[in-house]
Chain A
Amino acid sequence: MKKIIIVILTIFLLTGNNDYQELNDLSIVTALAIDYKDNNYLISFQIQNPNNNNKYIIYDSYANTIDKAFNNVLTKSPNKLYYKHLEILYISQTIAKNHMDNIIKYFTENNITRNEFNILINKTNNISTLINEPAINIRNLIKTNTNNIGISQNLKFNDLLNDYLNPYKELTIPSIEIDIDTNNEIKLSTIAIFKNNKLIDYLSEEENIGLNIINNKLATTTLKNNCNNNNYYVTKIHSIKTNLNPDLTNNTINININGKYEINKLNCKNNITELQINDNLKSIITKTINTFKNYNVDTINIQNLYYKKEPNYFKRNYKYWYQHYQNTKTNININLTKDEKKEALGGLYE
């Protein structure tokens, strides 16, 4: 009997777990869109409709602080809002340019969400279309994209927070846009690059692939290469493994990329050598690195690599990093080999 009493008492007194809430009293928020207009934060809530799985209830709320905007929604919603299942957070370009600190602070300090939701920059500022799209679809879209094409990035809030707190890292956030050409469909767009937590610009698709390859986050991708007279050939690259070796004394970073490729020649009748394919990828990587240098932003986090390798040396010699950044040399080494297993025997022309 003593044992039972002790067990029951410990449950009540030591765990502090007493937030009982029935599912009926909760509204599950699956997506949030935050914008900043006329000195007000404008938040749209996508809430799962319990009566119909495919329809959503949308609430809008605004106030001059984020906290107030989050509280004001309770004047509209009959149930308590439950943010732990938030899947996507859309932030507008204004927010990305000027108010990133507030947003990250709000979500970390209030602890109302899990840290596992995706963040996307709303590139075309069309909140109503985005918020009506099921958040789970968008989440799966990002997942598929990062695995197969690599023009986006599967960025969870946790990763963003790590980058934000690391003084040697710059933020990158993927973006989403409305494709006006094709009947207002939603389309993943490229990564936005930040400097000092402020949005600078968006990358091109090719640069995006380059960045993902450097960061070792790309499993498979397809590259289109020019052959001759408007013809082109396609290489499918997979099993990519990237190694970054910083050399602090020479201010050089060695990039070693290993992987396999399959080739689809289509109308191109030229003989394409392995060297050509390797050079092609090399040019993409070089172009990406040069783009970052043009913006004077260290998006591939060379300073972080330096710091990790030899923190004391880094602190002594590269105290003001951006004075040294432009002089950084890169030594790119690419070793793609043909994947014989997946090659169709002969092909049409052989």
Chain B
Amino acid sequence: MDKIINKLKKITNNNTDIIYRKKKINNNQIYIIYSESLTSSTDISNNIIRSLDLIEKRYKNNLNLYNIIKNDITNSKVTEINNANDIAYYINNGFTIILVENKYLAFETRRNLSRNISNPMTETTLRSSTDSFVEDIQTNTGLIKRRIKSTNLWKIDTTLGTESKTNISIFYMNNITNKKLVKEIKTRIEQINIDSILSIGTLKNLIENETKSVFPTISTTERPDRACNALLEGKIVIVIDTSSFVLILPTFFNDNFKSMDDNYGKSLNITLTRIIRYIAFFITILTPAIYIALTTFNQDILQTEILINIAAQRNQVPLPTFFEALIMMLSFEILRESDLRIPGVSNSALSIVGALIIGDAAVSAGIVSPIMIIIISITAITSLLFTEPEFIYAIRWYRLIFMISAAISGLIGITFVFIYLIINLCNLTSFNLPYLMPYIPTYINGLKNSIIKFPTKKIMKRDIFLTKNINRSDSQ
């Protein structure tokens, strides 16, 4: 017994965090070992120590103390440890170890180290539910199971990271999700060999094979309802401990234009909203490029009155239009980036400075023209319609490429890059499924919930690319 204690002390470098408590029960020496920072001291005193005292009083002639302790301690989760090398792992997971008769028992006495469930911070909606995932895998599992009570909600548990030993759960619907997809993801996760997975982003980058394109093929969400929605469509959700975001895969182009709010509105209203989102996508990606093309190459396309107005505004600006646009785009992106980093208290100061610099002073100083402010504002506002950051970054890339092509050869350049964008999107797959689904390949049932949304009663089929069990009405 002392040998084990010494070994433990050696591998943990005699960590003062770990408490070794000696206790005698009717002349039998036992050890209670736990990590002070990971365990709840009330649980240990109330459940373990008190139970041990009761055992001492009740069993005077204890024949088999190991079995008595195993059965009589009033703790919900008990695990027998067969290998002495696992002790350290259990201690680091918040278990309390009892050493008795050279055998080991682990009792879960984990302290609650995560925060309470709070509102979503990044994916706000008007009327959808307002709970969000937290940093605890158990709570997150609970949030999913609370919504899907079916026994068909299966999960695969595993740990990743040789040092961090992060718990990972892969959720899927047994009767809906394509087994090939589950197998594919399982193998991709099994192939990972890394010291630590500290965030969901690391895992995302490790399992994402489609690295050539800037568009996201896996999306992250902090909304349990969105995760459950994805599960019921036949997608897979990966939850990891210590991350308040979960992964949804595969993700398609069309998913970026959907919101959980869409379930609340009438189908006609939602259709209009979706059309506006698609228009906003093209506006945000094309507006600066089209402005550059129209003012430097294709002036003849504009109406005379508009051209005269633009010419009057640009008259005082010394910079070429492309650089003017580039400078304004850059200053907006810097402003946005700094807005994300700085603490909330200085937010208003920043927005005042930003609005003054971008909006007013630059115009009066003659560095940019007022119409450029309008162009950049429209571009910036429309890009904020999308919640997935990866998608916004992708838009940013293409916006820049479009701007450069417009500066090189006007509208023809824009046309060429647009063709390239379409080719790129058609070529892209997310976990071997076409990214532009349901547009290409066209699938009627999928189109019912794409740029147009049919009434919910009429969307009774799932996507045939994701699952073979396509009937929503009777999915047993």
Contact = CB atoms under 8 A, between A and B. Distances in A.
Given A15-B412, A136-B305, A28 B311 contact: yes
B393 interface: no
A128 interface: no
Contact of A11 (B295, B305, B314, B408): B408
Nearest to A53: B312
Contacts of B61: none
Given A24-B317, A28-B311, A7 B416 contact: yes
A23 B409 contact: no
Q: Which of B308, B311, B317, B416 has the most CB of A within 10 A?
A: B311
B297 A4 contact: no
B416 A87 contact: no
A50 B410 CA distance: 23
A182 interface: no
Interface in B369-425: 405, 407-410, 412-413, 416-417, 419-420, 423
Interface in A17-42: 17-24, 26, 28, 30
B405 A19 contact: no
A104 B222 CA distance: 69
A10 interface: yes
B112 interface: no
Contacts of A349: none
A28 B409 contact: no
A4 to B, nearest CB: 7
A3 B416 CA distance: 11
Contacts of A48: 308, 311
Contacts of A324: none
A20 B419 CA distance: 22
Nearest to B407: A20
Contacts of B307: 23, 28, 85
B300 A20 contact: no
B304 interface: yes
Contacts of A70: none
A84 interface: yes
Contacts of A19: 297
B320 interface: yes
Contact of B304 (A21, A51, A85): A85
A11 B413 contact: yes
A164 interface: no
A338 to B, nearest CB: 40
Contacts of B314: 22-24
B296 interface: yes
Contact of A23 (B295, B407, B420): B295
Interface size class of A (residues with CB under 8 A): 20 to 34
B296 A20 contact: yes
A113 B405 CA distance: 26
A87 B308 CA distance: 13
Contacts of A24: 311, 314-315, 317
Contact of B410 (A17, A28, A30, A53): A17
B325 to A, nearest CB: 13
Interface in B281-317: 295-297, 299-300, 304-305, 307-312, 314-315, 317
Nearest to B321: A22
Q: Which of A3, A17, A28, A53 has the most CB of B within 10 A?
A: A17
Contacts of B300: 84-85, 114
Interface residues of B, number: 30
B310 A17 contact: no
A307 interface: no
A56 to B, nearest CB: 11
B314 to A, nearest CB: 5
Interface string A185-202: 000000000000000000
Contact of A26 (B311, B320, B410): B311
B416 A11 contact: yes
Contacts of A82: 299
Contacts of A28: 304, 307-308, 311
Given A23-B299, A28-B308, A87-B304, A10 B410 contact: no
B410 to A, nearest CB: 6
Nearest to A52: B312
Contact of A84 (B296, B299, B410): B299
A12 interface: yes
A26 B307 CA distance: 11
B294 to A, nearest CB: 10
A3 B427 CA distance: 12
Contact of A7 (B299, B305, B320, B417): B417
Nearest to B369: A23
A321 to B, nearest CB: 39
B409 A17 contact: yes
A10 B295 CA distance: 23
Contacts of A85: 299-300, 304, 307-308
A4 B304 contact: no
A3 B409 contact: no
Given A85-B304, A85-B307, A11 B405 contact: yes
B312 A50 contact: yes
Given A4-B420, A30-B304, A50-B311, A20 B412 contact: no
Contacts of B419: 7
A23 B310 contact: yes
Contacts of B408: 11-12
Given A3-B423, A23-B296, A28-B311, 15 more contacts: A3-B420, A4-B420, A7-B419, A12-B408, A17-B409, A17-B413, A26-B311, A30-B304, A50-B312, A53-B308, A53-B309, A84-B300, A85-B307, A85-B308, A114-B300
Ranked nearest first, the 10 interchain pairs of A and B with the lowest CB-CB distance are A84-B300, A50-B315, A85-B304, A17-B409, A15-B412, A17-B412, A23-B311, A23-B314, A11-B409, A7-B420
10 contacts: A12-B409, A17-B410, A21-B296, A23-B307, A24-B317, A48-B311, A50-B315, A51-B315, A53-B308, A85-B308
